[in-house]
């Protein structure tokens, strides 16, 4: 049986020697975790450990990627992903261009690909892309020579968020094999859930998806079978799902993507699916609470749970910078 | 490939004991010292040196590990990046005498990177360099303050240091790669 670490003890990172081989890394782009192996995710974690050390310094900057340029191109609003990528890039001494879409030539009708091609021609090495259309980063990766990092595409994928979630779990549990993770709520619209399903399945977690039937995509069963994903199950009743849980991740109810009639009423959703202290007590005593943010306080999570000792929501944000530093380090290639 | 043993386990032990004494002598004691081993084989060497000095001087000396990957000057020319190993310096190095330890001194480029890394972590009173083997061929104005053995080499030769904590045995060998260069 797996036990969580007592919360007052410092995080223990398992020391691996010899370190994993970098030669297993095959990615030019970070599009989704479906193309990752467990060894590659372990490699990202290993590099992330080193980046965490940089973040712990008084001067959080290393000269590693001097001379490379990263552009953030966000067609959808974002606070943490964009700021996190910008800080990650700057910590590694890259130059950063933030394309402000509403003030860019996109408003004059410049196409998606032309916008990205312009950035490529300007000498950008990596584009971090967020787009409301699922698959947009794949299109970009097909047509450009430079690296694309998916910063969230539609309902489809948010691989860097999933990696930082997995890394946060690793800091607390060490080994992720057999951890019971309960993902609650708006799974239908959640790219975070989709990437986490891949990542957690690869790392050997048991994932329980818990939501009202209207928010659990019907094609999920086929998807799980077709992709040979193991350890994924569905549960409509939250109280049942939370039994023996090591990790609980309520998702933001995405009002901006809600079509009508998916929920009878918000109040009913809160009554049945909000993670509150009483429900949290059904999980293992040291279960961790994660949330990809931003939070609708008092909707999917109660304020006392969001700010409780079991919540690692702020830690996720810090870890996110280190994970993104590791990914930037791994995908930038030689120029000379 | 021919491998010739140039330092035995006893030779390495003697060299480290001598260097430990030189360090204490030059620094008039051990009270301001922080040992920093360079990943990978510099780390156990630093631990051993600190251990000898602790036995002689009777005080605890902090020993850290430094990985220089993020400071390398050839990163932008590499297609496959090297793995970044742990950096863990347990003490604040500001106003301390840092004893930097590596197994082999060659071009001097890793030492340049290590000094940049150290200075990002604080402002040491001094940085002194210990190497087990100095094989020549410097490309930067860097020299060792303490060397186990100077071994003039050709560029076609390779120095292989084996350290018990990592490789299971203590030994230094010289390899000639020339006959493989067809």
Residues 6+ apart with CB under 8 A from A304: A276, A277
Write down the ipTM of this complex.
0.88
Mean pLDDT to the nearest integer, A177-194: 95
| Residue B142, pLDDT above cutoff 90 | yes
Does residue A95 contact residue A66 with C-beta atoms inside 8 Å?
no
Residues of B in contact with A16 (CB under 8 A): none
Which of A50, A57, A330 faces B86 most closely, judged by CB atoms? A50
Give DSSP secondary structure letters for A151-192.
EEETTTB-HHHHHHHHHHHHHHHS--TT-EEEEES--TT-HH
Domain regions of chain B by residue span: 10-73+85-153
- Min Cα distance A326 → chain B (Å) is 9
- Lowest-confidence region among A130-139, B64-73, B80-89: B80-89
| Residue B154, pLDDT above cutoff 60 | yes
- Residues paired with residue B171 on neighbouring β-strands, in sequence order: B162
B35 in A contact zone (CB under 8 Å) = no
The pLDDT confidence band at residue B168, using thresholds 50, 70 and 90, is: very high
- Write out pLDDT tens, residues A125-166: 999 999 999 999 999 999 999 999 999 999 999 999 999 999
pLDDT value of residue B180: 54
* Contact between B83 and A47 using a beta-carbon 8 Å cutoff: yes
Q: What backbone torsions phi and psi does residue A233 show, to the nearest 5 degrees?
A: -140, 165
Domains annotated on chain A, with CATH: 22-157+317-331 (3.40.50.1370), 159-315 (3.40.50.1370)
Tokens, residue A71: 């552009």
Buried b (16+ CB within 10 A) or exposed e, A150-176: bbbbbbbbbbbbbbbbbbbbbbbbeeb
Number of helices (H) and strands (E) in chain B: give both, helices first: 4, 8
B10-73+85-153 is a CATH 3.30.70.1060 domain: no
Which of A51, A57, A334 faces B121 most closely, judged by CB atoms? A57
- Write out pLDDT tens, residues B56-68: 999 999 999 999 9
pTM of the model: 0.91
List the one residue out of A161, A202, A98 whose CA is nearest residue A324. A161
Residues of A in contact with B43 (CB under 8 A): none
Interface of B with A in 105-144 (CB under 8 A): 116, 120-121
Size of interface A-B (CB pairs under 8 A): 63
Interface of A with B in 31-70 (CB under 8 A): 43, 46-47, 49-51, 53-54, 57, 59, 61-68
- Residues paired with residue A153 on neighbouring β-strands, in sequence order: A131, A157
- Lowest-confidence region among A93-107, A200-214, B18-32, B109-123: A93-107
Mean pLDDT to the nearest integer, B63-89: 90
pLDDT value of residue A263: 85
List the one residue out of B66, B121, B112 whose CA is nearest residue A50. B66
* Residue count of chain B: 182
* Contact between A334 and B70 using a beta-carbon 8 Å cutoff: no
* Contact between A61 and B120 using a beta-carbon 8 Å cutoff: yes
* Contact between A50 and B67 using a beta-carbon 8 Å cutoff: yes
Percent of chain A with pLDDT over 70: 92
Does residue B102 contact residue B111 with C-beta atoms inside 8 Å?
yes
- Residues paired with residue B134 on neighbouring β-strands, in sequence order: B105, B150
Does residue A207 contact residue A181 with C-beta atoms inside 8 Å?
yes
pLDDT value of residue A99: 93
């Amino acid at each position: 049986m797996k036990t969580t670490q007592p919360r007052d003890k410092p995080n223990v990172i398992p020391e691996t020697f010899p370190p994993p081989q970098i030669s297993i890394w095959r990615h030019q782009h970070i599009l989704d975790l479906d193309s990752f192996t467990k060894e590659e995710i372990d490699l990202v974690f290993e590099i992330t450990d080193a980046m965490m050390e940089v973040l712990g310094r008084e001067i959080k900057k290393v000269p590693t990627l001097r001379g490379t340029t990263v552009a953030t191109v966000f067609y959808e609003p974002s606070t943490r992903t964009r700021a996190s990528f910008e800080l990650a890039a700057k910590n590694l001494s890259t130059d950063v261009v933030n394309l402000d879409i509403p003030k860019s030539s996109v408003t004059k009708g410049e196409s998606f690909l032309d916008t990205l091609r312009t950035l490529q021609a300007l000498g950008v090495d990596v584009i971090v892309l967020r787009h409301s259309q699922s698959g947009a980063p794949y299109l970009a990766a097909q047509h450009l020579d430079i690296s694309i990092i998916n910063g969230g595409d539609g309902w489809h994928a948010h691989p860097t968020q999933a990696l930082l979630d997995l890394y946060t779990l690793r800091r607390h549990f060490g080994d992720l094999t057999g951890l019971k993770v309960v993902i609650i709520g708006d799974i239908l619209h959640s790219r975070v859930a989709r990437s986490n399903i891949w990542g957690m399945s690869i790392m050997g977690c048991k994932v329980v998806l818990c939501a009202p039937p209207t928010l659990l995509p019907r094609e999920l069963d086929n998807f799980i079978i077709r992709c040979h994903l193991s350890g994924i199950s569905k549960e409509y009743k939250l109280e049942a799902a939370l039994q023996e849980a090591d990790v609980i991740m309520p998702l933001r109810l995405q009002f901006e993507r809600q079509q009508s009639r998916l929920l009878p009423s918000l109040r009913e959703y809160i009554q049945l699916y909000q993670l509150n202290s009483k429900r949290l007590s059904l999980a293992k005593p040291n279960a961790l609470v994660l949330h990809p943010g931003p939070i609708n306080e008092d909707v999917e999570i109660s304020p006392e749970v969001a700010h409780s000792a079991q919540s690692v929501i702020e830690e996720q944000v810090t870890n996110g910078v280190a994970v993104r530093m590791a990914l930037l380090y791994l995908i930038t290639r030689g120029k000379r | 490939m021919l491998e010739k043993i140039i330092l035995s386990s006893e030779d390495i032990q003697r060299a480290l004991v001598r260097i430990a004494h030189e360090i204490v002598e030059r620094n008039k004691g051990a009270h301001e010292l922080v040992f920093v081993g360079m990943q990978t084989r510099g780390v156990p060497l630093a631990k051993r040196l600190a251990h000898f000095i602790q036995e002689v001087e009777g005080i605890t000396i902090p020993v850290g590990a430094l990985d220089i990957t993020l400071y390398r000057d050839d990163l932008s020319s590499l297609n496959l990046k090297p793995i970044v190993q742990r950096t863990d310096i347990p003490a604040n190095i500001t106003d301390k005498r840092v004893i930097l330890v590596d197994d082999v001194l060659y071009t001097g480029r890793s030492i340049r990177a290590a000094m940049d890394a150290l200075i990002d972590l604080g402002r040491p009173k001094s940085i002194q360099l210990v190497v087990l083997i100095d094989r020549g061929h410097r490309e930067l104005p860097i020299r060792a303050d303490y060397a186990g053995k100077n071994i003039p080499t050709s560029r076609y030769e390779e120095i292989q240091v084996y350290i018990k904590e990592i490789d299971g045995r203590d030994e230094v060998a010289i390899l000639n790669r020339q006959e493989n260069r067809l």
